[in-house]
Amino acid sequence: MPSEMFTQLVDAHYTPLFRFALSLTKSSSDAGDLTQQTFFIWAKQGHALREEGKAKSWLFTTLYREFLRGRRRAERMTALEDLGPVDADPPAPEVDVVTGMDAGLVVECLQEVDETYRVPLTLFYMQDLSYKEIAEMLEVPIGTVMSRLSRGKAQLRAALARKESGAKSKVVPFKNTTARKLS
Amino acid sequence: MNNEEAKFILQGYRPNGADAGDTTFVAAVEQAKKDPALGEWFAKQQAFDAAISAKLAEIAPPADLRAAILAGGKVTAAGAATQRAWWNHPVWMGLAACLAIVFATAVALWPKQASAFGDFIYADAKLSATHGGQGHETSRLQAVLNDATTRLGQKLPINFEELSGTGCRALNYRGHEIMELCFKRDGVWFHCYIARIADYPMVAMTDTPTIVDRDGTSVASWKDAEHLIVVVSKSGRRSLEALL
């Protein structure tokens, strides 16, 4: 694979991939490893992908599969699908509150969301993939993605509300948003 | 669609507007424009989603991650290349060995295959009493061949599938069809055989007609881009040469 093409690919996708990996692993170093691993797999076999436009989906899918491969929690994930209905519009913090929050704190809230919902939710908020592409990547029906987004947002709102109430009593600014361990 | 259904759909609408052209959202977005309560909910939802997206976008990867990926990628790609070239893989090596055997067999049998093809046509031409196709495509091509200005070896307007499907006389040779139709020039009957090159790759023909004589029968054969064409005459070599 020509090195210029690889460099272009890395430059275009390594940041969103890292953010996605961070939401999965909850650790900056693990997220970095997972991102690297994804590109190394590409370096080994990515040339077999004939459609350049599919590279983004391929990278996200590969990263997610690598994450799953390194961890065994399938039973719990299946069980989560059987949870009850979503609370109708749970109370959400005002947008101003979210805007005023530290980015690291928001990511921590995102990481509190159950993984089944967190994966599509993170991809949705990164805005790189449509709900259809997310469905393809996770190999689930579109309706399932919509449902998971709905449940994921409800859990995220609840987590933000908890953080907000906690922050009122104890404010700990988080200035460095790069390369940190979040849990 | 009620408002709950619209909400279910709209919460999948990315706040950067990337889904604006997606037909799944059109009806729900229109409903949000018309229904004030739904519109307010959607506006809040979009603002909330945009705020989360903006926060997520603030997360920067470690400063050394890019360099590590690029360096590691080079090493990985180089390692993959030196591990084993694609053609050196056992699967490909096995396939190459098989192809070599097939090729050697084909070369050995080539003259026999081509000869057998000729023998088949020669034998059929002798049974002209059984000939006689029909169909509009057959008639159309017959008219072209009957035309005194049509020369052997020139590009003929052959539509093999149409001939096959509309009643042209078809012979089955080694599992593939050969079309046969007769035409007449200056009172002499000729038998024209048309096969697809792809069906008989072992049969070698040239672009220009080659005439051979056999037991009082003369055979002209050539090929175009897709077809093998053989014209047989029982009226001697001169009758075929007159059509060149």
pLDDT string in tens for chain A (183-residue length): 567 788 888 999 999 999 999 998 888 888 888 898 888 888 877 666 656 667 888 899 999 988 888 775 544 544 444 444 555 555 556 677 788 888 888 999 999 999 889 999 999 999 988 988 998 888 888 888 888 898 899 999 999 988 877 766 554 444 444 444 443
Mean pLDDT for all residues in chain B: 80
Shared domain for B116 and B38, answered yes or no, is: no
Q: At B103, list the tokens.
A: 């090729």
Domain assignment present for B72: no
Residue B37 CA to residue B26 CA, distance in Å, equals 18
Residue B237: its pLDDT value, please?
Answer: 86
B136 plus B236 within the same structural domain: yes
Using an 8 Å CB-CB cutoff, list chain A residues near B58.
103, 177
Residue B42: its pLDDT value, please? 92
pLDDT bracket for residue B111 (50, 70, 90): low
Confirm if B204 and B108 have CB atoms less than 8 A apart: no
Domain identity same for B118 and B46 = no
Is the same domain home to B51 and B120? Answer: no
Interface test with B, best of A8, A130, A149 (most B CBs within 10 A): A130
Supply the pLDDT for residue A14: 93
Q: In angstroms, rounded to a whole number, what is the distance separating the alpha carbons of residues A134 and A132?
A: 5
Q: Each residue of B4-62: pLDDT tens digit?
A: 889 989 999 998 888 888 888 989 999 999 999 999 999 999 999 999 999 999 999 98
| Domains in chain B, number | 2
Q: Give one word for B186, left, alpha or beta, with left for phi > 0 and alpha for psi -120 to 50.
A: left
Residues B115 and B214 in one domain: yes
Instruction: Please tell me whether residues B158 and B40 are part of one structural domain.
Output: no
**pLDDT tier at B119, thresholds 50, 70, 90:** confident
Is position B225 within any domain? yes
- pLDDT over 50 at B162, yes or no: yes
The top-level CATH class assigned to A1-71 is: mainly alpha
Last residue of a domain, one of B58, B84, B102: B58
| Confidence band, pLDDT 50/70/90 cuts, at residue B91 | very low
B220, B152: one domain: yes
Report d(CA B171, CA B14) in Å as an integer: 63
- Name the A residues in 35-94 with CB < 8 Å from any B CB: 35-36, 39-40, 42-45, 89, 92
CA B49, CA A74: separation in Å to the nearest integer? 29
- Please identify which residue in the block is written with the tokens 């509309």: B166
Domain A73-170: give its CATH code. 1.10.10.10
Do B158 and B45 fall within a single domain? Answer: no
For residues B39 and B127, state if they share a domain. Answer: no
Chain A interface mutation, best of B3, B69, B74, highest count of A Cβ atoms under 10 Å: B69
pLDDT score for B52: 92
* pLDDT at residue B172 is higher than 90: no
Domain holding B39, by residue range, is 3-58
Amino acid A177: pLDDT: 46
Is residue B157 domain-resident? yes
DSSP B139-152: HHHHHHHHSTT--T
Q: Is residue B91 part of a domain?
A: no
Query: Is residue B123 domain-shared with residue B233, that is, in the same domain?
Result: yes
Q: pTM for the complete prediction?
A: 0.52
Asked if A10 lies within 8 A of B70 by C-beta distance, the reply is yes
Q: Where in chain A are all domains bearing CATH 1.10.10.10?
A: 73-170
Q: Does residue B69 lie in a domain region?
A: no
Strand partners, B191: B182, B232
ipTM over 0.90: no
Q: Do both B115 and B53 map to the same domain?
A: no
Measured on CA atoms in the order B22, B27, B33, B38, is the torsion positive or negative? negative
Are A19 and B14 in contact (CB < 8 Å)? no
Q: Are residues B11 and B122 in the same domain?
A: no
